[in-house]
Structure 1
């Protein structure tokens, strides 16, 4: 019994497919599992505060209890243009990932053509001598070409692993942008409110100094004071007034910055200058374990994912050292008469298994492997650097905020003492025990204390925002921008590996 050529070709094709499937687990290059170990220490360098109230870390700005701050932060996170760019970068990374995944599928092209040609009667084929064959011919052709490269050594799989990691790094970086935007909004808003309180205290001080100058001028006219006293008070009035334009500039700059952060015209939030708000309450916040920030910090997670991508790239480069097996197939119809194009006798078909192996290339592939390994080393060092920088950032932010709280407490006591002293001065003035000038001096002391308190409180509030940012606050609950599960698992492995023994 005679076996058809078609059956033989199908058998070869089936054997090659089975061979490819059997080798599906083979992928050259290193297998990425965990990032390199980094010594994260045993805990915070300062003791954690006990009995600390809980905060909603995912929306910490709302926990601060200022409706305007909450409104601004939510509007910025919905509209900010940097966030829109970050989302577009995620979309780009996903598209490139889909392109890499397409390497597993065959490529099929459909074509059709009509060709009119004239052959030479004196050429290799003696057209003039062959009965029934004309020199002028019209050839109708319709068919397809298909090609499939079998991923025998995992080049496509490694490329897909790299693309997956790049997508996850883009997601983590987008969350980093989100955290930064929320922190910038809070910083600008709290600076604006703090500058308002500072301006009120400075204006009160100028008012008290102006009244003092008027009194000294009256004494000068009465002959009870010298011109030097008037000049001294004038100098103090001028110095106090000189600080007001700078504070007003800070106010306007903060309001304009808020408009831009909300992806609106800069003047959008100038109306905030016409309103006031109570100062936020500054209290210690829960820190958790120091290693927890490695699970929340998007820069750490992004660095870990970039390391995973660079590791997979080594496999992509290494696969070029090995043979490539591909299968090409084509089929269709060809005829000299359009009426016969779809007839069974016009069918054409071919299958061509192909093995190619780059034997000599001047060392280019091995050079690319070394370059990929160097890029992986760079990514590993960058990861370690990012982890240590994140820990340092958190420690500095914690120290700044704790010292800021201490400074606020001391300034608060100074204000209370100055307020009591001013109250005593008012009572003594009403009783006729002291002159108005002495009462005004106590009022100036109070206004100066309030001015210093406003600046100290603003500095501490900004330090609180920096601490939330350093701890990775604002990550949780971000739907599409969640930390990749495998990235978190890898970081968990590192934090557990570096945890102190109990």
Structure 2
């Protein structure tokens, strides 16, 4: 690499002394700082325009007011869920790691800001030395010059590289955009953890209700099996009927361990999500059931998700940072001006250390310009431009992924609600049928085995309804996550809104 240098130190300046050189120095500084209005590289204004369509692909009811999704879990009517989510948001380790990443990005931004200011250092030393009398300097024959000396020195040094072509400003732009991207990613972690806690809680409560109903089913089938064995002993039914009853009882009983394991696994997972040992929430295995209110499609406008989705915000900020990186590299094609200054006091005697005659001062302007480097800078510029194109495509992909997630989860939740309505209707019909069977059994119109069969069908309908309820609740959580629920726009205090 070849550089053109221009230096001016005190020894090359006007022999009239430092005071006579101040006017020229001030003129030089003023002239150079006036050039700092030039900033090379492309300016980032707004993200690229992406066709997002005109609205939802399925009919969605219009909300009378903007939907507030900041704390969506509080609208479901489950105090235990609220406690779990709030605890996770305060103690989850993924969230705390995300906060540490914000601190790191903020420190890098502050470092980039500090590059625009002069660096000043100060020091003092006492140096005892002896020079050779037989060396190149004839110490022994120079009157008054002793071979042994003690030098007392105190002073400061300052260095400042003027940002002539905006390299430091572009670096600050990039660091600020990366900080904003990190903040948005941290919000995405919060959103994910809140959704994961809610999903795990619904799976735990659903498994608990399914276990209770399955145990009731096993009791009914056990009664049926006992009855069939008694009747077989009397010769009223065949051994095949007993085997069929036993097969139904065994199949129902075999499902209990899996349901219990599913419930326990969900509760153990909650403990980890809350930043604690897995057994922290085992008491929830015996907690009372809670009814979750499932709202109807709380989505709002389709375009709103682009302002709410943290991954879209982060992708847009990474695009802004990549654009700034081009300017940082482009500035390497132009001259650089740095100014060094130093001063202090130097003497051979402590009594003269801070005397005015012991003062020293120097100014060192330096201009450097890269003339030939084998095309490395221009290759780096092309690499930065390619990285910017990747970031632009990444932003477009984030937008389309967000839209796809929202459309898919919207359809899933709508289908889940429809299935739940039908399951509830089937459950009501099964309850009516069981009441009829119970009345007929009481009146002696049907045998006990038929009454037990009606009871078994009721339990099966209850299990199907519990599963539909759990599925719809989990799909609701996925929908809230897909449309960007779980954080407030005010939390992104430093991010640029997406237009």
Give 5+ residue unaligned stretches, structure 1.
493-502
Q: Secondary structure at the match of 2:61?
A: coil
Aligned partner of 1:100 in structure 2 is: 112
Aligned partner of 1:199 in structure 2 is: 211
Q: Distance in 1 between matches of 2:18 and 2:317?
A: 48
User: In 2 relative to 1, CA 291–484 (structure 1 residues): closer, same or farther, beyond 3 Å?
Assistant: farther
CA contact (8 A) 1:327 1:351 kept: yes
Q: Deviations over 1:425-446 (max 9, x none)?
A: 0000111110011111111111
Aligned partner of 2:4 in structure 1 is: none
Q: Deviations over 1:352-384 (max 9, x none)?
A: 111011112222212221211111111111111
Give matches, 1:349-498, under 5 Å: 349-476=361-488, 481-482=491-492, 484-486=494-496, 488=497, 491-492=498-499
Q: What RMSD, in angstroms, separates the aligned Cα atoms of the two structures? A: 1.7
Aligned partner of 1:497 in structure 2 is: none
1:240 has 2:252 as partner? yes
**Post-superposition offset of 1:121:** 3.5
Aligned partner of 1:316 in structure 2 is: 328
Tell me whether 242-251 or 5-14 shows the greater mean CA deviation: 5-14
Aligned partner of 1:340 in structure 2 is: 352
TM-score normalised over the length of structure 2: 0.94
CA contact (8 A) 2:180 2:495 kept: no
Tell me whether 255-264 or 418-427 shows the greater mean CA deviation: 255-264
Aligned partner of 1:499 in structure 2 is: none
Q: Deviations over 1:466-490 (max 9, x none)?
A: 000111111116x6x426441x1xx
Aligned partner of 1:111 in structure 2 is: 123
Aligned partner of 2:307 in structure 1 is: 295
1:47 has 2:59 as partner? yes
User: In 2 relative to 1, CA 245–52 (structure 1 residues): closer, same or farther, beyond 3 Å?
Assistant: farther
Q: Distance in 2 between matches of 1:66 and 1:441?
A: 35
Equivalent of 1:16, from 28, 46, 71?
28
1:253 has 2:273 as partner? no
CA contact (8 A) 2:345 2:353 kept: yes
**Post-superposition offset of 1:385:** 0.6
Q: Distance in 1 between matches of 2:248 and 2:288?
A: 28
Give 5+ residue unaligned stretches, structure 2.
1-13
CA contact (8 A) 1:188 1:255 kept: yes
Tell me whether 85-94 or 283-292 shows the greater mean CA deviation: 283-292
Aligned partner of 2:98 in structure 1 is: 86
Tell me whether 180-189 or 262-271 shows the greater mean CA deviation: 262-271
1:176 has 2:188 as partner? yes
Q: Secondary structure at the match of 2:161?
A: strand
**Post-superposition offset of 1:126:** 3.1
User: In 2 relative to 1, CA 469–418 (structure 1 residues): closer, same or farther, beyond 3 Å?
Assistant: same
1:142 has 2:154 as partner? yes
**Post-superposition offset of 1:52:** 7.7
CA contact (8 A) 1:331 1:348 kept: yes
